[in-house]
Copies of this chain bind each other. A is one copy, B any other.
Amino acid sequence: MGGSAPRVVALAGGVGGAKLAYGLAKTLPGPSLTVVGNTGDDETFFGLHVSPDLDTLMYTLAGVADPERGWGLAGESFQALEMLLSYQEPAWFSLGDRDLATHILRTKLLREGMSLTEVTRQLSQRLGVECLLVPMSDDPVRTIVETDEGALPFQSYFVERQCRPVVSGVCFEGAEKAQMSKEFTEALGKSDALVFCPSNPIVSIGPILAVPGTEKAIRSFQGPRIAVSPIIGDRALRGPAAKMLAELGEEVSCVGVARRLEGLCDILLIHKTDAPLAAAVKDAGMEPMALNTIMDTDGDKRRLAREICDLIKDRLQ
């Protein structure tokens, strides 16, 4: 990428989103990139504030994530969790020993009165993250999945019940009272382009959009808005996106993703094997571009990020 770098704001959930965020961070200079993380699946475990998506993003951006799992830290162990089991405590959520340091420190700083934005900035900077990583909001927003087994907080649905319950709806508790983080608002105001990372449109991008003011700011965003479809064919590369879309009666394809982002996004990057769906994506009001969107290796992540940055520069001219 020649010339000056565009300023980009990227919206992301966990593992899938973190891959592209990593690519963007390797492509753009630190100050040009703001990554906005979903906090709808934040949860309190044993009094500790856990922010799964922010952590996945932070660890990935810092290069300390577990390369196999895509979440958590490399070289992780689970001794504290084992001891919690000795205390006969429920231990379905994988709290790693190294990971615990993050939750302990975050909880301490929050209790001391620091905002989640400031905590996230401090922790990510201390781990060497150069771009700005911010939560969508400093206020609590809680993704609740309505299922045939009742209403479940996201982590209970996702981790404890392993996405088995049938989903009939999703709501975001507290969203109506939440405010966008100042840094999110500012990033939307000053960035040249907006990127939707390939995250679950319902429970990763959904909570971000549920924060009042976000949709409006994105609708009036000046500059190219580009999404990468997390659905390829009729499957999500990971997570329950495909299963959730199907259970909610939506189309399980990049076209379903396009419909969810109608009015919020200009260009949808779809995987090359989905090229036959380009016309349907266009009908949903979005410009389709078919290319290789699979990010297995760090090289893949950088390649896709470079293609996106080139596209942005092209559209900005």
Q: How far is the CA of A81 from the CA of B104 in the complex (A)?
A: 11
Judge whether B100 and A87 touch: CB under 8 Å. no
Interface centre among A47, A81, A111 (most CB of B within 10 A): A47
The digit string for A85-101, where 1 denotes a CB below 8 A from any CB of B, is: 01111000000111111
- Number of this chain's copies in the assembly equals 2
Q: How far is the CA of A64 from the CA of B85 in the complex (A)?
A: 14
Give the Cβ gap from A92 to chain B, nearest Cβ, in Å.
15
Say yes or no for A161: interface residue by CB 8 A criterion. no
Which residues of A51-100 have CB atoms within 8 Å of chain B's CB atoms? 64, 73, 75-77, 79-84, 86-89, 96-100
Say yes or no for A126: interface residue by CB 8 A criterion. yes
Q: How many residues of A contact B (CB 8 A)?
A: 33
Judge whether A104 and B73 touch: CB under 8 Å. no
Give the Cβ gap from A119 to chain B, nearest Cβ, in Å.
11
Q: How far is the CA of A47 from the CA of B76 in the complex (A)?
A: 23
Judge whether B77 and A73 touch: CB under 8 Å. no
Judge whether A97 and B111 touch: CB under 8 Å. no
B47, B79, B96, B107: which contacts A98 (Cβ < 8 A)? B79
Q: How far is the CA of A124 from the CA of B219 in the complex (A)?
A: 57
Judge whether B73 and A105 touch: CB under 8 Å. no
Interface centre among A77, A82, A97 (most CB of B within 10 A): A97
Q: How far is the CA of A111 from the CA of B108 in the complex (A)?
A: 13
Say yes or no for A127: interface residue by CB 8 A criterion. yes
Give the Cβ gap from A286 to chain B, nearest Cβ, in Å.
41
Interface centre among A73, A76, A86, A89 (most CB of B within 10 A): A86
Judge whether A76 and B73 touch: CB under 8 Å. no
B75, B80, B107: which contacts A47 (Cβ < 8 A)? B107
A residues engaging B (CB < 8 A)? 46-48, 64, 73, 75-77, 79-84, 86-89, 96-102, 104-105, 107-108, 111, 123, 126-127
Q: 20 more A-B contacts (CB under 8 A) besides A77-B97, A83-B99, A87-B123?
A: A46-B105, A46-B108, A47-B104, A47-B111, A75-B79, A77-B79, A79-B98, A80-B80, A81-B101, A83-B97, A83-B98, A83-B100, A83-B101, A83-B102, A84-B101, A86-B126, A87-B101, A87-B126, A88-B126, A104-B104
Between-chain CB contacts (< 8 Å), 17 pairs: A46-B104, A46-B105, A47-B104, A47-B107, A77-B79, A77-B97, A79-B96, A80-B97, A80-B98, A80-B101, A83-B100, A84-B104, A86-B127, A87-B123, A87-B127, A89-B105, A97-B100
